Chain A
Amino acid sequence: MSKILEVNDLSVSFDTYGGDVKAVRGVTFELNEKETLAIVGESGSGKSVTAQSLMRLIPMPPGKFVNGSIIFKGQDLTEKSEKQMEAIRGKEISMIFQDPMTSLNPTMTIGKQISESLIKHQNMSKKDAHERGIELLKLVGIPTPEKRINQYPHEYSGGMRQRAMIAIALACNPKILIADEPTTALDVTIQAQIMDLMKELQEKTGTAILLITHDLGVVANAAHRVAVMYGGKIVETGDVDEIFYNPQHPYTWGLLGSMPKLDNRDEELQAIPGSPPDLADPPKGCPFVTRCPFAMKVCENRMPEYTDVSNTQKAACWLLDERAPKVEIPESARVGGTKVHG
């Protein structure tokens, strides 16, 4: 598998009245062809900002790149001009958003909204774009697309709107599809349909998907690899099985513990107490220290480096240091087998 996107030490800040909010603080990851990478984290972890930075959709100012690079096809996207980015957006990288109710233009037909990028990026005529629009709607599973294409978003249901959003995003066969919480605003039954659709389309088109979500349940079936974000940093990354069966970071444990499981009916869901750190004044050490049940003195002052757990998995936690006490994965975070730290 070859790398298609490489993000190196990316830092993004927002200039606000309350000071510089350091939303993303040195994030590094890569995305391979035909793969789905999930970035998981709660709201405020910086995952959406990371996603939107890749497309350069962050309004600047107040946002700004502080550091790092985003390498796509050998070129650094952080250095591109707005005009150059226009040629990449929608054509090479495209995006779908959380709320399909508000992310479609209410005064424009679905057909027009699909055609726009076809006309812009592929120089299609209006007529051809319309034909292609019908094909795309069919592809994303919208019945009677010939009729539906001339309708407005309000005539679509929530799930259908998200399908239409996917059709718009895939119109020009992009290399990368960024899906920013694509199912959060949908009913549970519709959520599964949309995730299945994205998986199916990925097999057909070979598009790499960057899935942004707070819902580990969505991740299990959809992603190949997972990066867990907290406080503007990636705290753990690994293959999906590693994250689910051998998680290393207490925050990942917390996320797994707060996920409902089918076999354990009596067990209560474990919430992670507390709230994420204030990124206007980020902590010196590990961002999770105030909420971590295993916090040590060192955690407060020093950000842990990444420790390689396997070829594919690494985590940033002081518990992985040989001098740290050995801690077992808590029962609540156990999806599969048990493993002891150290």
Chain B
Amino acid sequence: MSQVQLNQSDFEPLQVDHSDAEKIAGESTSYWKDGWRRFRKNKLAIFGVFIIIILGILSFIGGPISGQNYYQNDLMNANQSPSAEHWFGTDNLGRDVFARTWYGAKISLFIGLMAAFIDLVIGVIWGAIAGFFGGKVDEYMMRIADILYGVPYLLVVILLMVILPQGLWTLIIAMTITGWINMARIVRGQVMQLRSEEYVMASRSLGASNTRLMFKHLVPNTLGPILVTLTLTIPNAIFTEAFLSYLGLGVPAPLASWGTMSSDALPALQYYPFQLFFPAFFICLTMLAFNVIGDGMRDALDPKVRK
């Protein structure tokens, strides 16, 4: 052995405190904190959040700052190209496209948010009840959901739009009548999985009531997947609304959404492509933004994806 200069004192026992040896290395972070940290690192998702915030603000102040309104017909100035006066040009009735775009944003975003919200409420309640009680209750509730799920979503929406009187709320109702099923399935799956876990057993053995258990323990723990689904429901609703507009089943005038604006611009596409460009661009941008936010949230919050 090579004898480097070592003193006898080097061979004295080392005073090590072994008591903290079992301490877990690294700061333990909460689920949400950790999720937020991951999400923040995802540049694309942050970009999506900014886009949505900007679109949201513009939907309120866009009309006023241009000094135009969305409903004023001006047939003398119809189909104008973008100019200093009409930033996005005018449509076939001479209405200012810029003002209409932000008015449309309000309607489109409202439809998206509202549909997502209703899906959330029905889906969470349905899924949580089915998943929590299990057994027969679960079987019947999910059988109903399965039958509704078997029919293509858009087909159902179209059929409902044919029967119901046209209107903004009709549209939202039609979209949510089967839209909640997806949410219900996800919540149920999560609840089923979680309710067998130990902390639920522990609370139950301590005498917690069912309702308390369901909302205090289970729902917060299923929040991650719910949030992701919610975020992806919004672009889907905006898409559906635009789709229906193309079929002439969108929101009726004088309401205007990006969908109806695009659809109205179609006949004159060859001559005034910009009339289609603006609403179509914002549909795509919004869907893009919500999609990247949804992806970012899934990566940040889904325990299966986290590694």
Contact = CB atoms under 8 A, between A and B. Distances in A.
B10 interface: yes
B21 interface: yes
Contact of B1 (A289, A291, A295, A305): A305
Given A273-B21, A325-B13, 20 more contacts: A274-B18, A275-B21, A275-B25, A289-B14, A290-B21, A291-B18, A293-B18, A294-B13, A296-B14, A297-B10, A299-B14, A300-B14, A302-B4, A302-B6, A318-B11, A321-B1, A321-B11, A323-B6, A323-B11, A324-B11
7 contacts: A273-B18, A290-B21, A295-B14, A296-B11, A296-B13, A298-B10, A300-B14
Given A295-B16, A298-B6, A321-B1, A274 B21 contact: yes
A307 interface: yes
A30 interface: no
B217 to A, nearest CB: 31
A295 B22 contact: no
Interface string B120-161: 000000000000000000000000000000000000000000
A278 interface: yes
B21 A297 contact: no
Interface in A303-342: 305, 307, 318, 321, 323-325
Contacts of B8: 323
Nearest to B3: A321
Contacts of A274: 18, 21-22
B12 A296 contact: yes
Interface in B1-49: 1-2, 4, 6, 8-14, 16, 18, 21-22, 25
Q: Report the 10 A-B pairs with minimum CB-CB distance, sorted nearest first.
A: A274-B21, A298-B10, A295-B14, A273-B21, A324-B11, A296-B11, A297-B10, A323-B11, A305-B1, A297-B14
A321 B8 CA distance: 11
Please report whether the interface of chain A is mostly helix, strand, loop or mixed according to DSSP.
loop
Contacts of B2: 305
A337 to B, nearest CB: 26
Contacts of B12: 296-297
A294 to B, nearest CB: 7
Most buried by A among B2, B13, B22: B13
Interface size class of A (residues with CB under 8 A): 20 to 34
Most buried by B among A293, A296, A307: A296
A298 B4 CA distance: 11
A278 B6 CA distance: 27
A278 B18 CA distance: 17
A296 B11 CA distance: 5
Contacts of A305: 1-2
Contacts of B10: 296-298, 323
A140 to B, nearest CB: 35
Contacts of B11: 296-298, 318, 321, 323-325
A291 B21 CA distance: 7
Given A305-B2, A321-B1, A295 B13 contact: yes
A273 B6 CA distance: 29
Contacts of B16: 289-290, 295
Nearest to B16: A295
A278 B25 contact: yes
A100 to B, nearest CB: 23
A178 B18 CA distance: 37
A18 to B, nearest CB: 10
Contacts of A273: 18, 21-22
Contacts of A295: 13-14, 16
A291 to B, nearest CB: 6
Nearest to A306: B1
B15 to A, nearest CB: 9
Most buried by A among B2, B9, B11: B11
Contacts of A293: 18
Contacts of A318: 11
A273 B9 CA distance: 26
Interface string A162-201: 0000000000000000000000000000000000000000
Interface in A263-300: 273-275, 278, 289-291, 293-300
A297 B25 CA distance: 24
